[in-house]
Amino acid sequence: MTLMAETWGEGRDLVMLHGWGMNSSVWSDFADGLAEQYRITLIDLPGHGHSPFRGQQSLAAWTEACLAVAPESAVWLGWSLGSMVALQAAHLAPARVSGVMVLAGMPRFVQAEDWPHAMAPHILDLFVHALGDDHRGTLERFLALQMLGSALAKETLRNLKQRLRERPDPHPEALQNGLDLLKRTDLRAALKELDCPTAWLYGDRDTLAPAAAAGLLHRWLPEVSSQVIAGAAHTPFLSHPTETRQAVNRFLEKLHGR
């Protein structure tokens, strides 16, 4: 299975991965701004955008498919579900991942007794059950949930829907596979084994990846670096592109010693 990847720009390599139900078109203007200093590689996750889908697979399999089309060495930036793939890439192929930027992402997306700042399991279950009846309607509701609380919710949602139309709808089974990964994946223990620096960026109004989770990451990452963008929900790179780009650039410049 060869995933769709596109590369442009000049400089050090930066891989960017979108979230569940999305595709690489969501990055458009945001990635263009970064391409002035970095060589960008956008990858459509399995069954999303122009990438094929070959049936239910593990997070490791999704990650291996991304590694197969990624540069030999790069910083990986993942948004939401894409952040889990980026963290898994750093775990599976440490020599190829020099840093991970987590954007509105979590090592575990559902609540646990020792992980309260996450989605309640029943909310994700509702999406799982609804997906079989109406995957397009379920995706629409998920898009709206991502904007919940954002200071620029209506405008951001309109822009996101417009960009998603630039590529094919995600494969229904890929959506189911992705929700299963969000529900079952817990990478917290794996964080202790990461060899590369990480940075975590949240929106203070995000209900899917609450910013309060950043306060617990030090249990697995003693020197964790995190930042919260005021007024942003789950898509800070769309609602607050300037602040998000500045945060990404700071991490990359620090990483490369500039």
Cα 63 versus chain centre, distance: 13
80 noted as active-site residue: yes
Q: Which residue, 32, 7, 38, is CA-closest to 255?
A: 38
Q: Is 180 a catalytic residue?
A: no
Contacts of 72 (CB under 8 A, 6+ apart): 96
3-state secondary structure of 181: helix
Decide if 206 is catalytic: yes
Contacts of 98 by beta carbon, 8 Å cutoff, 6+ apart: 73, 74, 75, 196, 255
Which is the catalytic residue, given 51, 234, 239, 240?
Answer: 234
What separation in angstroms does the CA of 226 have from each of 9, 35, 101, 203, 214? 27, 23, 10, 11, 7
Q: Which two three-digit tokens encode residue 107?
A: 């090592």
The sheet carrying 74-79 orders its strands as 5-9, 38-43, 12-17, 74-79, 97-103, 198-203, 225-229
Q: Give the distance from CA 192 to its chain's centroid.
A: 20
How far, in Å, CA of 192 to CA of 206, rounded?
Answer: 25
Q: Which of 80, 83, 98, 226 is catalytic?
A: 80
**Active-site entry in 206, 226, 239, 240:** 206
- Show which residues are catalytic: 80, 206, 234
